């Protein structure tokens, strides 16, 4: 049997890569350049997907918090506005242009004016206030719902424009505001119940039974059209007698409204000294 020369065997092993000094024989190891590039590409795609999902979730969270905050603002504002609508008073004033008394209430599709016992701006009750809700267009940025409020001290406040420094923006970035007024059905006057776009107390001689305000938000770029929200408020004082003014040297003091007396029931006389 022929024996192989040791030197030739070592050379043969070095050529085949099966000999590693100090460790004996082992198969060839390591990654090729192509395998490393493929692995890094796959890892990059995985990190890109993870980052995109994280960014999408963060954007959805911020949008949800913004919607929640806006909803809370609308809810709180709606409650306060509804409270002032409910506190509308049948305040009767005398016009300087026309020799006749009329209720201080005027309703149009884009604005409404009235006297209320509740103030949105005053921290403490200060008596009756004269309030105006008016929609003001603002171009591409959207319109605003403006509130003017002042104390009902001047007899001619319905015939004078409100001071601009009293203007307060309640809702901004809106498309439209519509006011509607509910007419109660009256068979004696041949009136059918329903919502009307205008209300003139000089002709009707009474307040509407309810007041409805519809606000349409502005549609953002690429966003879905938001549904309008409505503030529907009954006016409990629509059946009450008008508030009359008692003259005095220090000024006119309004009397509280009184509920109507039922037919056949005599009103109770006031208690002396009360």
Task: Classify residue 150: in a domain, yes or no.
Answer: yes
Quick one: pLDDT at residue 248?
40
Cβ distance 136 to 162 under 8 Å? no
* Lowest-confidence pick of 51-55, 159-163, 171-175, 238-242: 238-242
Cβ distance 110 to 94 under 8 Å? no
Task: Classify residue 157: in a domain, yes or no.
Answer: yes
Task: Classify residue 130: in a domain, yes or no.
Answer: yes
Task: Classify residue 32: in a domain, yes or no.
Answer: no
Quick one: pLDDT at residue 220?
60
Q: What tokens appear for 118 in the block? A: 């509740």
Task: Classify residue 53: in a domain, yes or no.
Answer: no
Q: Map residue 263 onto helix, strand or coil.
A: coil
Residue 103's Cβ-side half-sphere holds a number of Cα atoms within 13 Å equal to: 26
Quick check: 60 pLDDT over 90?
Answer: no
CA distance 141 to 230: 22
Alpha-carbon separation of residue 208 from 76, 117, 240 (angstroms): 25, 17, 12
Cβ distance 29 to 17 under 8 Å? no
CA distance 37 to 43: 10
* Lowest-confidence pick of 52-61, 63-72, 93-102, 193-202: 93-102
| Helix ranges, the chain (H) | 6-16, 33-86, 201-204
Q: Which domain holds residue 164?
A: 63-243
Task: Classify residue 81: in a domain, yes or no.
Answer: yes
Domain count along the chain: 1
Quick one: pLDDT at residue 102?
82
CB-CB neighbours of 130 under 10 Å: 21
Quick check: 56 pLDDT over 60?
Answer: yes
The mean pLDDT of 99-117, rounded to a whole number, is 89
Task: Classify residue 249: in a domain, yes or no.
Answer: no
Quick one: pLDDT at residue 270?
45
C-alpha 107, offset from chain centre: 22
Task: Classify residue 176: in a domain, yes or no.
Answer: yes
pLDDT digits (tens, 9 = 90+) for 137-186: 877 778 899 999 988 876 677 878 888 888 999 988 889 999 999 998 88
């Amino acid at each position: 049997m022929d024996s192989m020369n040791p030197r030739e065997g070592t050379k043969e092993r070095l050529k085949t890569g099966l000999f590693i000094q100090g460790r004996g024989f082992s198969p060839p190891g390591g990654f090729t350049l192509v395998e490393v590039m493929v692995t890094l590409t796959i890892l990059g795609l995985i990190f890109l997907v993870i980052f995109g999902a994280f960014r999408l979730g963060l954007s959805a969270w911020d949008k949800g918090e913004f919607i929640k905050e806006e909803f809370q603002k609308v809810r709180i504002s709606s409650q306060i506005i509804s409270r002032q609508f409910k506190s509308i008073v049948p305040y009767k004033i005398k016009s300087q242009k026309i020799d006749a008394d009329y209720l201080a209430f005027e309703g149009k599709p884009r604005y409404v004016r009235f006297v209320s016992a509740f103030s949105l701006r005053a921290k403490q009750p200060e008596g009756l206030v004269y309030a105006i809700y008016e929609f003001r267009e603002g171009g591409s940025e959207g319109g605003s719902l403006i509130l003017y409020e002042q104390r009902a001290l001047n007899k001619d406040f319905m015939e004078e424009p409100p001071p601009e420094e009293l203007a307060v923006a309640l809702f901004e970035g809106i498309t439209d505001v519509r006011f509607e007024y509910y007419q109660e059905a009256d068979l004696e006057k041949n009136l059918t119940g329903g919502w009307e776009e205008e209300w003139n107390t000089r002709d009707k001689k009474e307040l509407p039974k309810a007041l409805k305000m519809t606000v349409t938000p502005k549609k953002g770029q690429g966003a879905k059209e938001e549904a309008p929200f409505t503030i529907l408020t009954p006016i409990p004082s629509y059946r009450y007698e008008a508030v009359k003014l008692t003259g005095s040297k220090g000024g006119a003091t309004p009397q509280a409204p009184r509920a109507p007396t039922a037919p056949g029931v005599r009103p109770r006389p006031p208690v002396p000294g009360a």
